[in-house]
Chain A
Amino acid sequence: MIKNLGILVLLIAVCALTAWQEPRFWSAYNVGNTLSWTGLHGLLALGTAVVILTGGIDLSVGSVAGLAGVMLPWTIVRLGWPPALALPAVLVGAVGIGVIHGLLITRLRLQPFLVTLCGLLVCRGLARYVTGDATIGFREADAPLRAIATATPFSVAVPGLDAPIAIPIAFLWLIAFALVLAIFLRRTIGGRSLFALGKNEAAARMSGVATSTWTVVAYAVSAGVAGFVGALLALDVNSVQPSTHAQWYELYAIAAAVLGGCSLRGGELSVIGVVLGAAILRVLYNAINILAIPTQLEFAVVGIVILVGAMIDEGLRRLTSR
């Protein structure tokens, strides 16, 4: 837990500072929105973190999300598939992309960076080609399906807030996935195998761990989650631009994962840390708008805060290792 302390302190600091400067930050509506975006980006970051845990990297998540976001409305609106078929098909397709990445990395021994970079390019290209680059949306037809991205199943009253927070479903997806992932990583053979191969692949293999299989699983999880997020994002915004849908989101995901304590060398993953990392990024973007900081400064502010976070983290680590 001490490992996540730095980032938690940073998150609370950013929230407190923003709320102090602009009380509307602390309104039910704004908190609800931030939770929703945290949900989507947190999911993406957790998926990516699983790959980072193995010592690999997945640069393709933004493009896989983009392709999934395009394929969902495309199959429903253009091909007329029922949503109950289209969504599973899109998810299976996304997982398939991850499996291909994993096989290329384990069987052909290609570098993860290269494989997933090519995945990034190929998926983005296919998304643009399939739609002829035209913006695509769900029109009016798919209200029930849109609910999985935009519903607010229940509200929570928080003292000091103007109204009960309507908890967005995207955030609930994140909580659910985080719980499943945490249990999987701590308690199951698969989770143990992922940690072991991330810390020392040779030693894990020499202990009879099926390192190749679990590496493929890691990439499949990452791509599958990316596909799901891409679909949610498409349903949420209801206007999918093939060339920009979820573009560069892999960078936010990697940043959130590393901010949350993942080492790019592998072998480390804290589910709570990654969720907090994603939350910080979203709160920052929100704070910049709420505080009317010029949007042009956005990247600069985000970059500086990530650096500060990393510094606090390293400082705490040195203190505790004494």
Chain B
Amino acid sequence: MPFLAVEGLSKRFAGVVALDGVSLHVDRGEWLAIAGENGAGKSTLMKILAGVETRDAGRIVLDGEPVALRSVREAKALGIAWIPQERSLCANLSIEDQLFLGRERTRRFGFVDRRGRRARAVEALARVGLDVPPTMTVGRLSTGNQQLLEIARALDEHARVLILDEPTSSLTPHESERLFAALARERERGVAVLYVSHRVAEIVERADRVVGLTDGKNSGELAERPFSESDVVRLMAGRAVSAATPTSRTFGPPRFSIDGLRTRRHPRELVSIEVRAGEIVGLAGLIGAGRTEILRAAFGADAATSGRISVDGTCVDVASPKAAVRAGIALVPEDRPADGVILDASVRTNIGLASLRDGARRGFVDRVAEKVRARAWIERLGIKTRSDRSLVRKLSGGNQQKVAFAKWLARSPRVLLLDEPTRGVDVGAKEEIHRCIEDAARAGAAVLVASSELGELLRLCDRIVVLQRGAIRGEFARAQFSEQRVLELATGAATAPGAHV
């Protein structure tokens, strides 16, 4: 008998079917991957198991007992822990305060048992291999270690089923390794892991079994190892996806150059990069290597301490994003909900936001052009939305990202800066976004793309610049691409242990 069994689970939201009779099971110590595109129902499934949403129909059996799962509290009490993709940590708290937040054990008169909780915190951290003092503030932990902290908390609450949503999407390879090592130990102890990810390679490497979801229904299962990447991708997309080979492009003259840029974060490192028209240059490096800082400074979003930015040989004073935009520079930022799109505005408004002045007369926006433009780009990028007036909030992550792209592509930018262009985006949308990056390059844009997913850069770029601690450590032309060598440079021999704590 399986440890956790889900039978015929259904859920609808406002008439839209999110889950339609989904069944799956997972055993103690088993690692089950759930594959599916955004909108396939993975999130709903996880939320129901975590008690965040309630199901309309279906049975959930845990350890032989049918369970109601009406609240988060109930799910936790049963030992089901969900680690969502968005961090829900308080950056100002200490690690141990965060660990026990909301479930403080008190002695008489409501006093906190300080010594007892310190010991327990150390034990919980050790369990996930997190070697940091419990008094450190959460904000100083790297994203990967924050992830481990959340898992530590779940395990301390006696989790028997761990549900992980895209756990590695913002981790460095090294951090991912640590996470998987910790998870492997828990697996030994009989914790069941439900794992949702777009990272096909990880699934292939780690999962014991894969269940596919498409449009809220079971779309198949890979019941036994070994399975290949294409097997998983087929399961995810519900169809075969061809790995597009990059078509060749011709490069024009140098279009965009960063010359002697110093960022606030790394004031002692000078960075110079040149990108030619039609060229796609990748920025590789670990988290904290300074990729985002360079892109933001080149766009005027953050002030640089020195340096010259030029477009087509003309020096541009990027005092603000407005000045950069005027010079034909565009940035699709890393943090989509905060900087990339306005979630509570319509798709049309978002796409038109950077082009308000196009066709405007005496300050009046050309509303017809705005509508036509929005609809054209929705069509062209295949943005899945009910209408151009729908709120961006209602779109899936991939489609939100396409909106952020469309906003800039509508201006035919001369320089396209991209920061993690496919983070949290499903396989299908990722392909489409890659294609639209290539199209922009083919149209003559100089593209500079930063990504923590090395595979993406290797597949997309004509050249890769490797950063470590704010400095350029090397550069590879397409013919010299090697994952191994990029990683070696990015991690650097000089990296002190614990530097990325």
Contact = CB atoms under 8 A, between A and B. Distances in A.
Interface stretch (A173-181, A199-207, A218-226, A298-306): A199-207
Interface string A203-246: 11111111000000000000000000000000000000000000
Consensus secondary structure, chain A interface: helix
Interface string A176-202: 000000000001111011011001101
A206 B352 CA distance: 13
A208 B343 CA distance: 17
A267 interface: yes
Nearest to A183: B364
B14 A189 contact: no
A117 B363 CA distance: 33
A208 B339 contact: no
Contact of B301 (A195, A206, A210, A322): A206
Interface string B336-371: 001111111100010011101100100111010000
Interface stretch (B2-10, B67-75, B286-294, B323-331): B323-331
A192 B365 contact: yes
Contacts of B363: 188-190
Contact of A187 (B320, B342, B364, B407): B364
A208 B14 contact: no
B321 interface: yes
A143 B319 CA distance: 52
A187 B14 contact: no
B161 to A, nearest CB: 32
Given A189-B363, A190-B363, A196-B353, A205 B301 contact: yes
B353 A209 contact: yes
Interface residues of A, number: 21
Nearest to A191: B365
Given A205-B301, A208-B322, A188 B365 contact: yes
Contacts of B342: 196, 199-200, 203-204
Given A206-B333, A208-B325, A193 B338 contact: no
Contacts of A208: 321-322, 324-326, 354
A187 B345 contact: no
Contacts of A205: 301, 320-322
Given A188-B365, A192-B349, A208-B326, A203 B356 contact: no
Given A189-B356, A208-B326, A200 B343 contact: yes
A207 B342 CA distance: 10
Give the most central of A187, A192, A195: most B CB within 10 Å: A192
Nearest to A190: B363
Interface size class, chain B:
20 to 34
A204 B353 contact: yes
Contacts of B333: 206
A199 B344 contact: yes
Contact of B354 (A187, A202, A207): A207
A181 to B, nearest CB: 14
Contact of B331 (A192, A204, A206, A322): A206
Interface in B156-212: none
Contact of B339 (A187, A195, A199, A203): A203
B14 A206 contact: no
A187 B370 CA distance: 11
A317 to B, nearest CB: 14
A210 B322 contact: yes
Given A195-B345, A199-B342, A322-B14, A206 B365 contact: no
Contacts of A204: 342, 353
Nearest to A268: B344
A199 B338 contact: no
Give the most central of B340, B345, B354, B363: most A CB within 10 Å: B345
B339 A196 contact: no
Interface string A243-259: 00000000000000000
A56 B360 CA distance: 28
Contacts of A322: 14
A318 to B, nearest CB: 13
Interface in A308-322: 322
Contacts of B360: 189
Contacts of A202: 338-339
A193 B356 contact: yes
A203 B341 CA distance: 6
Given A189-B364, A200-B338, 14 more contacts: A187-B364, A187-B365, A189-B357, A192-B349, A195-B345, A200-B341, A203-B341, A203-B342, A206-B331, A207-B354, A208-B322, A208-B325, A209-B356, A210-B320
Top 9 A-B residue pairs of the complex, sorted by shortest distance between their CB atoms: A208-B325, A207-B353, A200-B342, A207-B354, A189-B356, A208-B322, A199-B342, A188-B363, A206-B339
26 contacts: A189-B356, A189-B357, A189-B360, A189-B363, A189-B364, A189-B365, A192-B353, A192-B356, A195-B349, A199-B342, A200-B342, A203-B338, A203-B339, A203-B340, A203-B341, A203-B342, A203-B353, A206-B331, A206-B333, A206-B339, A207-B353, A208-B321, A208-B322, A208-B354, A210-B320, A322-B14
